[in-house]
């Protein structure tokens, strides 16, 4: 019974909608980081941290002078306030999808400390298994849940900076206007750190990257039964 269900009602590991949301998010994140570091440069928080124009979006001096008659400050803001709509609307769609279909709970929970430690130990001994890319290990779960939470905090800090009067209650959670800027900056730094690890690991195990383009191996459609049981029957 269970077997017929698996063969007749299967779907790709990453359904098309999810893949579209993933790559839309990738574009939005790049827009937000590259325009954000240009905006940061208008009034740097740390005198020892600055970003070269070549890395920024909107900071191209030729385009900026041609269209706006300034060094790119307004262009970067325009990009940031375009990217925010893509990021937030796509992010809301992703979270809604993940919660309604149970995908978030199924793939990312529970996170067991023992599992995380075991994954780290395996990784240190180069014993980490990549045979089954349909199941996340403890560290992956921790990182994915962590980056979703950081992205939410990042958006909230962004709202506090954009609308400190209309969202004054939210803004007060960050202590001061500069507090919100600080959180927004470190949130960006954490997202960049995640991106480096995420992209490096995807390149190390190219099947995972391919799966996010083509959909990957087919898996059972309904993740409703406990993940552990489904996994055991698979074995």
Partner 1 sequence: MRIRPPTGSQFRPAKPIDQSVMAENKARIERIDRRNVLRGSLSLGALTLLGGCDVSDTDTMQSVLTAVSAWNDRAQALLFDPNRLAPTFTEAEVLKPPRFNAYFSEADITPIDVANWKLELGGLISDKRPKTAPDIYAMPEQEIIIRHVCVEGWDYIGQWSGVNLRRFLESVGADLTAKYVAFHCFDDYYGSIDMATALHPQTILATKYAKEYLGDPFGFPLRLRTATKLGFKNPKWITAIEVTNTYPGGFWEDRGFNWFSGM
Site for partner 1, rule CB under 8 A: 39-45, 47, 63, 67-71, 73-75, 77-79, 81-82, 85, 163-166, 168, 172, 177-178, 181
Residues with Cβ < 8 Å from 108, sequence gap 6 or more? Answer: 136, 141, 144, 145
Work out how close the CB of 222 gets to partner 1 at its nearest, in angstroms, rounded to a whole number.
39
| Residue among 71 and 138 whose Cβ is closer to partner 1 | 71
CB-nearer residue toward partner 1: 21 or 159: 159
Residue closer to partner 1 (CB basis): 4 or 43: 43
Min dist. Cβ of residue 62 to partner 1 (A): 10
Backbone angles phi, psi at 25, to 5 degrees: -60, -40
Q: Which is nearer to partner 1, 186 or 194 (CB)?
A: 186
Integer Cα distance of 61 and 36 in angstroms: 16
Q: In the bound complex, what is the minimum distance in angstroms from residue 43's beta carbon to partner 1?
A: 4
Q: Of 75 and 91, which CB lies nearer to partner 1 in the complex structure?
A: 75
Q: Comparing C-alpha atoms, which of 220, 217, 216 is closest to residue 1? A: 220
Say which residues have a Cβ less than 8 Å from residue 90's Cβ, sequence separation at least 6. Answer: 21, 24, 25, 28
195, exposed or middle or buried, with CB in 10 Å at 0-12, 13-18, 19+? middle
Cβ 47 to partner 1 shortest distance, Å? 6
Q: Tell me the backbone φ, ψ of residue 219, rounded to 5 degrees.
A: -125, 165
Minimum distance from residue 19 beta carbon to partner 1 (Å):
24
């Amino acid at each position: 019974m269970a077997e017929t269900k698996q063969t007749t009602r299967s779907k790709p590991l990453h359904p098309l909608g999810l893949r579209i949301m993933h790559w839309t998010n990738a574009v939005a994140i790049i827009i937000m980081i590259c325009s954000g570091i240009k905006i940061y440069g208008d009034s740097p928080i740390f005198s020892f941290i600055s970003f070269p124009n070549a890395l920024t979006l909107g900071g191209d001096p030729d385009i900026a002078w041609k269209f706006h008659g300034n060094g790119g400050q307004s262009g970067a803001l325009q990009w940031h306030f375009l990217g925010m709509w893509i990021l937030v609307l796509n992010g809301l769609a992703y979270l809604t999808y993940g919660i309604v279909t149970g995908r978030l709970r199924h793939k990312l929970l529970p996170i067991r400390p023992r599992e995380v430690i075991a994954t780290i130990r395996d990784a240190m001994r180069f014993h980490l298994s990549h045979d089954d890319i349909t199941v996340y290990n403890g560290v992956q779960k921790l990182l994915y849940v962590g980056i979703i939470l950081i992205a939410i905090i990042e958006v909230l800090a962004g709202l506090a900076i954009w609308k400190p009067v209309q969202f004054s209650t939210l803004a007060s959670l960050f202590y001061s206007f500069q507090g919100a800027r600080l959180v927004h900056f470190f949130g960006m730094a954490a997202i960049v750190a995640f991106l480096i690890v995420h992209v490096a690991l995807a390149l190390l195990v190219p099947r995972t990257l391919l799966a996010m383009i083509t959909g990957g191996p087919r898996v059972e459609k309904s993740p409703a039964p406990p993940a552990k049981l489904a996994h055991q029957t698979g074995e």
